[in-house]
Amino acid sequence: MTLVSIGNGIRLALATTREHKMRSFLTVLGVIIGTGAVIGVGSIIAGLDGAITNLLRSFGPNTIIVLKGRAMGDWTREERRRKPLSLENARAVAERCPSVEHVSPYIFPMSGVQTARYKGNDIYGIQMGGTEEGYAAGGTTMKVGRFFTDFESSHHMPVVTVGEDVQKQLLPNEDPIGKWIEVDGHSLQIVGVMNRPAASLPGQDDTRVLIPYFTMRKMYPNLTEHMLVVIAYPGMLDRAQDEVRSVLRLERRVPFHDPDNFSISTAEQMIEQFHEVTATVALVMVILSSIGLLVGGIGVMNIMLVSVTERTREIGVRKAVGARRADIIVQFLTEAVVLTALGGIIGLILGWMISRAAGLIFPNLPTAVPLWAAVSGVMVSVGVGLFFGIWPAGRAARLDPVEALRYE
């Protein structure tokens, strides 16, 4: 087996494909669909993973996040029945935890897609939350203007601080300070624009819309679920977690022998947990998408068997002039690999189109075809050609040259 023989096999395979265009396309249709689905699903999951990672890292490296249930994943029935965290819990942590610099209650809508609008410009899927001035101590820096104050919160003032990309999309050519925007039907005045979080990933949108805590409570009086954003002094993160746990167990009257009825996580811990969830989802989706590759592989094996039958006389001639079994095997395996590789490339284009379509439908979901998905999609399609081409290639190599020459 030489490079020349492989090159000749590739040229012959391409010529056969051009000669039977429709048959070749239908043969690898399953490979195209399977590869496209793997790459499309991979890009969407990668985009979702990046968006959530960006949101969590925006809280800062010294931040502890407290929820009544697990940080990530579906809450159990017992977790949903737990008493919500409250403003009073936040005040107790601030007063009795010496390693804690700031504590801010953080409330946000649990469902629905929130929107912001200014003079006909709309942005959907904003990251809206109500919090206090201490939130900014977690590493938030301002591009222009300022962060809102606790005075504005306590007086229910209709002000808002927005992320960098909200300003770019709503007021691209205007000074945003002092402008009134509409957030879910409520008019709010912009007092500041935040810089993109330093830990955000390239290409991630900063669509935060932060409202003073009591203003948010006035806008949404039925909100009860709280998240506590606890900011520890530098170098005291672990100690602060222990202090917060002790205070909350006392505040929530948890018996000594019972487990916590709340969850404490750092932003990085929550990111790790979310990565575990998305990795599992990605694995399941890739396995389901691979069914198309299996169907495509069976189609390739079937058409290669037909090809062996059609070219029996050609195989006899090649063997008669000195071709070895290995040469015949290489010829047919090369044809199978070229066929599925072409299917993989078309599937890669299909997956990219799915990724782009998802990005257009969900503008705040930063979809991009990850390198691992593109490489694995094409490599798997080549592997399908190798695996399902072995039997037809072996059958061709075993033909008796005398009988093959007699074949009509």
The DSSP annotation for 337-386 comes to HHHHHHHHHHHHHHHHHHHHHHHHHSTTS-----HHHHHHHHHHHHHHHH
Whether residue 190 is predicted with pLDDT greater than 90 in this model: the reply is: yes
Beta strands in 184-308 (DSSP E): 186-194, 208-212, 227-232, 263-266
Q: What is the pLDDT of residue 330?
A: 74
Torsion of CA 277, 279, 285, 289, to 10 degrees: 180
CA-wise closest residue to 134 among 106, 175, 162: 106
Mean pLDDT of 131-135: 87
Q: What is the pLDDT of residues 335-371, one digit of tens each?
A: 777 777 888 788 888 877 877 777 677 655 556 666 7
Q: How confident is the model at residue 58 (pLDDT cuts 50, 70, 90)?
A: low
Whether residue 59 is predicted with pLDDT greater than 70 in this model: the reply is: no
* Main-chain phi, psi angles of 145, to 5 degrees: 75, -150
Q: How confident is the model at residue 52 (pLDDT cuts 50, 70, 90)?
A: low
Mean pLDDT of 316-335: 73
Question: Which one is predicted more confidently, 79 or 243?
Answer: 243
Burial state string for 53-86 with b = 16 or more CB within 10 A and e = fewer than 16: bbbbbbbbbbbbbbbbbebbeeeeeebeebeebb
Q: What is the pLDDT of residue 189?
A: 93
Instruction: Name, in order, each residue with C-beta under 8 angstroms of 38's C-beta and a sequence gap of 6 or more.
Output: 286, 289, 290, 293, 347, 351, 373, 376, 377, 380
Whether residue 302 is predicted with pLDDT greater than 90 in this model: the reply is: no
CA-wise closest residue to 17 among 392, 303, 292: 303
Question: Which one is predicted more confidently, 8 or 404?
Answer: 8
CA-wise closest residue to 282 among 108, 46, 75, 112: 46
Cβ atoms 345, 31 nearer than 8 A: no
The two beta strands, 142-145 and 159-162, are unpaired
Average pLDDT, the chain: 78
Question: How many whole angstroms separate alpha carbon 358 and alpha carbon 224?
Answer: 33
Mean pLDDT of 151-160: 93
Question: How many whole angstroms separate alpha carbon 103 and alpha carbon 325?
Answer: 75
Q: How confident is the model at residue 202 (pLDDT cuts 50, 70, 90)?
A: very low
Q: How confident is the model at residue 404 (pLDDT cuts 50, 70, 90)?
A: low
Q: How confident is the model at residue 317 (pLDDT cuts 50, 70, 90)?
A: confident
Whether residue 93 is predicted with pLDDT greater than 50 in this model: the reply is: yes
Cβ atoms 371, 52 nearer than 8 A: no
Question: How many whole angstroms separate alpha carbon 268 and alpha carbon 64?
Answer: 10
Tokens, residue 171: 């007021």
Mean pLDDT of 161-188: 89
Strand, coil or helix: 51: helix
CA-wise closest residue to 189 among 154, 216, 158: 158
Q: What is the pLDDT of residue 71?
A: 59
Which pTM was predicted? 0.53
Q: What is the pLDDT of residues 62-71, one digit of tens each?
A: 788 888 877 5
CA-wise closest residue to 130 among 224, 213, 217, 225: 213
Q: What is the pLDDT of residue 401?
A: 64
